[in-house]
Amino acid sequence: MLNRRHLLAGATGATALSFPVFAFGQAQATDKRLLIIILRGGMDGLAAIAPLGDPAYANARGRLALQRSGQNAALALDSTFALNPKLPKMHALYRAGELLPIHACATAYRERSHFDAQNVLETGASAPFARTEGWLNKALGALPNSRPEMGMALSAQAPLILRGPANVATWSPSTLPNVDDDTMARLLALYEARDPALAHALTSAMSANGVAMDSGAGGMTGAGPRSITPIAQVAARFLKDDHGPIAAVMEMSGWDTHANQGIEQGPLVRALTALDEGLDAFRTEMGPAWSNTVVIIATEFGRTVAPNGANGTDHGTGMAAFVAGGAVRGGRVLADWPGLGHAALYQGRDLRPTTDLRGVFKGVLAGHLRVPNAVLEHDAFPDSGSVRGIQDLLHA
Amino acid sequence: MPDLRLAAIATHRFGLGPRPDELRIVAADPRGWVKAQLGPQHTLPAPIAALPPAEDDLLAFGRWLARRRLNGANGQRIEDRAERQGVTQEDLQRLSIEEDFVQNFRERVVRAVGARVEAAMTTETPVHERLVHFWGNHFTVSTAKPGAIALPPSFEKDAIRPNVGGRFANMLLASTKHPGMIVYLDNWLSVGPNSQAAQNPSRARRLPGGGRPTGINENLAREVLELHTLGVNGGYTQTDVQALAAIITGWTYERPRLRDLVSDSVADRNGAQLFEFDENAHEPGPKTLLNRTYPQTGVAQGEAALNDLARHPSTARFIATKLTRHYIADAPPSAAVARVERAFRESEGDLRVTMEALVDSSEAWETPFAKFKRPEEYAITLLRLANLRTIPPGAGIAALGAMGQRPYAAPGPDGWADIADAWLTADLVWKRLEFAQAYSARIARADLDPMSLGEACLGPLLSDETRTAVSRAESPAQGLALLCGAPEMQRR
């Protein structure tokens, strides 16, 4: 097997001037870690966390309503809420006090376009396409003792949340044959002479491959459809490495359940199962570092309260999210519940949002990573002065 | 006076990279060479013509569903057994209906991807073929949705190809009426609440699961407004989405009957011939879209609305911006956008006239290498560089997937991103270089001189640095790998 670390050492000598601090070169100054899982497509929050105690729930949800008892009974959280039966491992985390479900939340966005909504979720702005940088990039870039590539995307392309002036690393499993080190070194030299953007990308890829190879994940080619378990395990390997990133982002698609989304089987059921298993695999792989870890699971919007004609749900507003990890004060549901009675619905069709997700993000960034308030207010989440960071998300 | 520099810009920026003899020919008249390919074409490339028609794809889909149901087992019982035997949900997924489906259709998709790549690598009119790729991405239908897995190739063949260089309104209508789009964006599930089908459910068509659709599905209407015509800031509201959704209720396709599934008769109809207007599902009455009321009845209502959307000033702006971004720069120069927009508006969406305005813009011939090629375009450049004529079945699909752009599999209805930020990332660049090396090793021959190939491909745009690197290579294969990985091969 090729040793890319070795190649890296050779390349560093030649490039010391243009890259004074090499990616992953020195240990991070903090042992806090953050993983963000973006659920693309709009997770049905009322299916993930069912408000069984809301008297309007059963009627409003119709054929998609979950039950308190029976073979496929929802997993009780408190007198009002219950987790989807396909989330048993997250339910165990909740009982261990390490999962904080959040309900009836939303970004600042109130329309129903995936692309606009994901844009707002990831830029932290109050309107779509108001800016081109992601809030996590801005937050990481502002940390004291900032160094290159504190953030990492577990995907071939950095998602918007990680784009911006701060360098971030990207990594995804390879299905192609290995390459010749000497040719790569020559290409790097050519890029340095001609094309700084390509030079930077190649340098970063070389260092990320070094870590992945050393952890034994280099030969990974991905598992079955929908599973996020292997990629979650690699995320953990990067994050628990002292020389790795302090924050990582992974994405999961398959949540846009317009048709036949299912209660006992169907696309939503499979997605929830994959999420449950992926989070559990991440926790296991983190080992002792789990106690210093926060995981945020968020999506771009919720879905309609009522099922549509095709036994699915359409784009909605109020959604559910999760914060998990050893550092989280969980075992309770965070929700200012607006109710599902018709008069309480947003525009007569959606769950009304009562909690601003930016408050959750700010609370985690401030409490966990110690991102200064001024950065949160002005750089990470512009025009969000009225949204306070939620204070008690984490253990003191 | 032949101009090799402009020829290199023309073949990379507007074409798919030159084959070895192409640059010299184009140099005689680079602008003329581009413009001659902007109009409609009346014959299909041979590999595309050989693909099965949409009806065959739909019958294959119907047969697969029927077979599953005929042989179907009780899902819950299997899940119980799996739990008793300690088989995880993840393993069980291998038996799932979707996985089986993908297995069944993989060969069909592999064949279609091969045809698309072969058409691009052998075409004598690469500028036209690039336009097919552009419009196929504008009107995305993707295999990423299992129910649509067989349909993107015939969608491209039936709805996009005949309308490239023609009228935008015709392409919009062909797209919105094609079974591929109707399945991909769920319009076949959409039923007007006051329609016959909703009032009297026995009149509604059954869903594959056995139920009957009862409500409006806004998916296609929303994307027509947001992605196909006006653009997200084009001045429409949720009310307009609902109005257009009601207007196109009943736009569906002829679903195969059981009798067709067991018959051997030839299934040769294309997507346009399979469009069907289901009066029973159509929401009756006039509707108001963008402050204009459509009194027509039946399918004419939707046709009138789409024709108006195609001519809307926001559409002109949106299409002009996308074209200029695609061909000239990630941040499209506003003067060029304005010229293209005016041409689109004044010609009422004549796509040849629109493209001529873009080609006549001085910005289109300045700053070579402003754009970073997407992976598919990059791979095709390399295939044309070595003058390959065919590729083995299935070759390259995994590589294109690894580079982030498996053909016909865009992640969402907004298609593939068209800016460098999305593609010039550490991991994707690495995967490109892996591909470039594997490919160079495969095509390297003693008589294939990397330097001459580089000159034939880039002319005066081949940089001194790349020349030096190639000349110092330790083997022809490494020389080819360095040429293929050079910045000027990845940009245009």
Chain B contact for A98 (CB, 8 A cutoff):
no
Nearest-angstrom CA–CA distance, B383 and A13: 35
pLDDT of res. A220: 40
Q: Provide, rounded to the nearest whole percent, the portion of chain B with pLDDT above 70.
A: 94
- Which segment of A79-93, B185-199, B345-359 scores lowest on mean pLDDT? B185-199
Optimal mutation site among A161, A200, A308, interface B, most CBs of chain B within 10 A:
A308
Q: Report the residue of A22, A152, A180, A349 to disrupt the B interface, i.e. the one with the largest count of B CBs within 10 Å.
A: A180
Residue B98 pLDDT exceeds 90:
no
Query: Would you state the pLDDT for residue B73?
Result: 52
Predicted pLDDT of residue A4 = 32
Q: Of A339-343, A370-374, B92-96, where does mean pLDDT reach its minimum?
A: B92-96
Which two three-digit tokens encode residue B291?
């402050």
The pLDDT of residue A311 = 84
Q: What is the per-residue pLDDT across A39-83, written as a single tens digit (0 to 9) for each?
A: 988 999 999 999 999 999 999 999 999 999 999 999 999 999 999
B-proximal residues of A, 287-326, CB under 8 Å = 308-311, 314-315
**Closest chain A CA to residue B434:** A179
Query: Which residue did the predictor score with more confidence, B222 or B64?
Result: B222
Strand, helix or coil for residue B294: strand
Asked whether residue B144 carries a pLDDT value surpassing 90, the answer given is: no
pLDDT at A182: 81
Residue B359: predicted pLDDT:
98
A1 touches chain B (CB under 8 A): no
CB contacts, 8 Å: B102 with chain A: 225
Alpha carbons within 13 A on the beta-carbon side of A354: 14
Q: Determine contact: A70 vs chain B, CB below 8 A.
A: no
Tell me whether residues B463 and A198 touch, CB distance under 8 A: no
> Per this entry, what is the length of chain A?
396
Task: State percent of chain A over pLDDT 70.
Answer: 86
What pLDDT, on the 0 to 100 scale, is given for residue B83?
72
A176 and B76 within 8 Å at the Cβ level: the answer is no
Joined tokens for residue A145? 């003792």
Radius of gyration over every alpha carbon of chain B, rounded to an integer in angstroms: 24
User: CA dihedral in degrees (B364, B365, B369, B370; nearest 10)?
Assistant: -40
Whether A70 is in a domain gets the answer yes
| pLDDT on residue A177 | 57
**Would an 8 Å CB–CB cutoff place B217 in contact with chain A?**
yes
Q: In the prediction, which pLDDT does A1 show?
A: 25
Give the per-residue pLDDT at B429.
94
In a domain, A389, yes or no: no
Name the pLDDT band for B313 (thresholds 50, 70, 90).
Answer: very high
Closest CA to B248 of B276, B274, B270, B269: B276
d(CA B333, CA B324): 8
- Of B223, B210, B272, B215, nearest to B249 (Cα)? B215
Domain positions in chain B are 37-311, 375-490
Q: Does B76 touch chain A (CB under 8 A)?
A: yes
Considering only the beta carbons, identify the residue of B75, B90, B213 that sits closest to A224.
B90
Average pLDDT over residues B136-153: 92
**Residue A297 included in any domain:** yes
Residue A18 has pLDDT above 60, yes or no: no
Which of A175, A310, A315 faces B398 most closely, judged by CB atoms? A175
pLDDT > 50? residue B308: yes
Task: Give the residue with greater pLDDT, A5 vs A298.
Answer: A298
d(CA B409, CA A36): 25
Give B110: exposed, middle or buried? Use CB within 10 Å, 0-12, 13-18, 19+: middle
Question: How far apart, in whole angstroms, are the C-alpha atoms of residue B16 and residue B384?
Answer: 8
Measured between CA atoms, how close is B266 to chain A, in angstroms? 32
CATH number, position A174: 3.40.720
Across residues B55-66, what is the average pLDDT? 85
- Tell me the nearest-neighbour CA distance from A304 into chain B, angstroms: 12
Picking from A311, A308, A306, the residue whose alpha carbon sits closest to that of residue A265 is A311
Indicate the pTM of the whole model.
Answer: 0.67
Phi, psi (5° rounding) for residue B252?
-140, -165
ipTM value? 0.88
Q: Which residues of B touch A300 (CB under 8 A)?
A: none
Q: What is the mean pLDDT of residues B188-216?
A: 82
Residue B365 pLDDT more than 50?
yes
Is there a contact between B128 and B164 (Cβ–Cβ < 8 Å)?
A: yes
Residue A141, min C-alpha distance to chain B (Å): 18
E strand intervals along A333-390: 355-356
CA nearest neighbour of A70 among B251, B76, B19: B76
Non-local CB neighbours of A17 within 8 Å, separated by 6+ positions: none
Q: Where are the alpha helices (DSSP H) in B193-333?
A: 196-199, 219-223, 238-247, 258-261, 271-274, 299-311, 313-327
Name the DSSP letter for residue A122: H
Q: How far is CA A151 from CA A164, A250, A394, B425, B429, in A?
A: 11, 11, 21, 14, 18
CA distances from B272 to B59, B138, B157, B179, B269 (A): 16, 19, 11, 8, 8
Q: Which residue has the tokens 């308190």?
A: A68
Would you list the DSSP string of B156-211?
A: IIIIIGGGTTSBHHHHHHHHHHSHHHHHHTTGGG---TTSHHHHSGGGSPPPTTS-
pLDDT in tens, A243-264: 789 999 998 887 888 888 888 8
pLDDT in tens, B61-81: 888 877 777 766 555 666 677
Lowest mean pLDDT among A205-219, A359-373, B162-176: A205-219
Element (H, E) at A251: strand A247-252
Write out residues 245-274 of A within 8 Å (CB-CB) of B: 253, 258-260, 264-265, 270, 273-274
Say if A5 falls within a structural domain: no
R_g of chain A, CA atoms, integer Å: 22
Q: Residue B176: how many CA atoms within 13 Å on its side-chain side?
A: 33
Least confident interval from A15-24, A179-188, B6-15, B47-56: A15-24
| Type of residue numbered B172 | L
Task: Say how far apart CA B3 and CA B29 lie, in whole Å.
Answer: 8
Closest C-alpha to B429, from B374, B470, B474? B374
Please check the confidence at residue A172 and state whether its pLDDT lies above 90.
no
In the structure, what pLDDT confidence band is assigned to residue A279 with cuts at 50, 70 and 90? very high
Domain that holds residue A140: 32-380
Stretch A131-153: mean pLDDT = 84
Residue B9, phi-psi category: left (phi > 0), alpha (psi -120 to 50), beta (remainder): alpha
Residues B381-388: what's their mean pLDDT?
91
Confidence tier at B140 by pLDDT (50, 70, 90): very high
Whether residue B398 is predicted with pLDDT greater than 70 in this model: the reply is yes
**∠ at Cα B266 (B260, B270), nearest 5°?**
90
Among A146-155, B175-184, B205-214, which stretch is predicted with the lowest mean pLDDT?
B205-214
Over the stretch B99-123, which tens digit does the pLDDT of each residue have?
Answer: 666 667 888 888 999 999 999 999 9
CB contact under 8 A, B398 and A155: no
Cα atoms in the Cβ-side hemisphere of radius 13 Å centred on B71: 6
Picking from B385, B173, B351, the residue whose alpha carbon sits closest to that of residue B277 is B173
- Alpha-carbon separation of residue B427 from A121, A155, A297, A337 (angstroms): 24, 8, 24, 43
Q: In angstroms, how far apart are the furthest CA atoms of chain A?
A: 69
**Contact B465/A190, CB-based, under 8 Å?**
yes
Place of tokens 């870590």: A211
* 8 Å CB contact of B485 and A201: no
Quote the pLDDT of residue A6.
Answer: 28
* For helices A196-214 and A4-15, angle between their N-to-C axes, nearest 10 degrees: 150
Nearest by CB to residue A177, choosing from B428, B438, B474, is B438
Own/partner long-range contacts of B79-84 (Cβ < 8 Å, ≥24 apart): B79/A265
- Look over chain B and give the mean of its residue pLDDT values, rounded to a whole number: 91
State how far the alpha carbon of B279 is from the alpha carbons of A272, B205, B251, B284, B361, in Å.
38, 12, 9, 9, 47
Lowest model confidence (mean pLDDT) among A57-66, A266-275, A295-304, B101-110: B101-110
- Angle CA(A73)–CA(A78)–CA(A82) in degrees, nearest 5? 30
